């Protein structure tokens, strides 16, 4: 092997050894991977026995936004609402929820703590809720919310799936 071949081989070997360290150093944090816009693809409640309830009905839509500065906004709106029930956009009709505030990510527990500033459900104004990240890839987010009490089904865990849109 000539001198040029030895140098090329040594350089290739050194570069391949450095790659695992570089990719590890470039790994994004959970928060960095969460930042962006997420469009709702599925949402349901699950009770302690594993039964699932699709209380939002068909055609539900929603959007979750997480900024790099630690702010969030979430809206979920059912499709089947009476369009003639209100004459002002300030008095929404039908099943919907919207809330916003700040968030922090807990890497070890793969969870997000939402500090809600305001919510369309006034009982959530000023509270904190924890959402577990069940799955987070470049294009998919699955969450499990804190338990809530449903008047029909009892205590349930809200579960949602999103696809990245921005």
From 35, 37, 39, 26, select the one nearest 112 (Cα to Cα): 35
19/44 same-domain check: no
Pair (23, 40) in one structural domain: no
- Specify whether 23 is located in the same domain as 48: no
Say yes or no: 39 and 22 in one domain: no
- Full domain range(s) for residue 58: 35-164
- Shared domain for 40 and 22, answered yes or no, is no
pLDDT digits (tens, 9 = 90+) for 111-158: 999 999 999 999 999 999 999 999 999 999 999 998 989 999 999 999
With a CB cutoff of 8 Å and minimum separation 6, the contacts of 52 are 44, 45, 46
Residue-level pLDDT at 113:
97
Same domain for 92 and 15, yes or no, is no
> At 94, is the pLDDT very low, low, confident or very high (cuts 50, 70, 90)?
confident
Residues 16 and 80 in one domain: no
**Mean pLDDT, rounded, for 102-112:** 97
Tens-digit pLDDT profile for residues 35-87: 999 999 999 999 999 999 999 999 999 999 999 999 999 999 999 888 878 77
Do 60 and 1 lie in one domain? The reply is no
Does 80 lie in the same domain as 146?
yes
Together in a domain, 78 and 16: no
Do 65 and 96 fall within a single domain? yes
């Amino acid at each position: 092997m000539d001198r040029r071949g030895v140098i090329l081989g040594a350089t290739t070997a050194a570069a391949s050894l450095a790659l695992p360290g570089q990719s590890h150093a470039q790994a994004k944090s959970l928060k960095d991977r969460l930042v962006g816009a997420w469009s709702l693809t599925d949402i349901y409640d699950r009770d302690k026995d594993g039964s699932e309830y699709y209380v939002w009905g068909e055609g539900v839509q929603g959007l979750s936004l997480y900024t790099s500065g630690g702010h969030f906004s979430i809206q979920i709106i059912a499709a089947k609402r009476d369009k003639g029930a209100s004459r002002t956009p300030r008095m929404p009709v039908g099943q919907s929820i919207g809330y916003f505030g700040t968030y922090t990510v807990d890497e070890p527990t793969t969870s997000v703590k939402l500090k809600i500033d305001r919510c369309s459900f006034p009982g959530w104004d000023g509270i904190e809720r924890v959402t577990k990240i069940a799955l987070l890839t470049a294009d998919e987010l699955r969450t499990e919310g804190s338990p809530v009490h449903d008047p029909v089904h009892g205590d349930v865990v809200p579960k949602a799936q999103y696809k990245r849109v921005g």
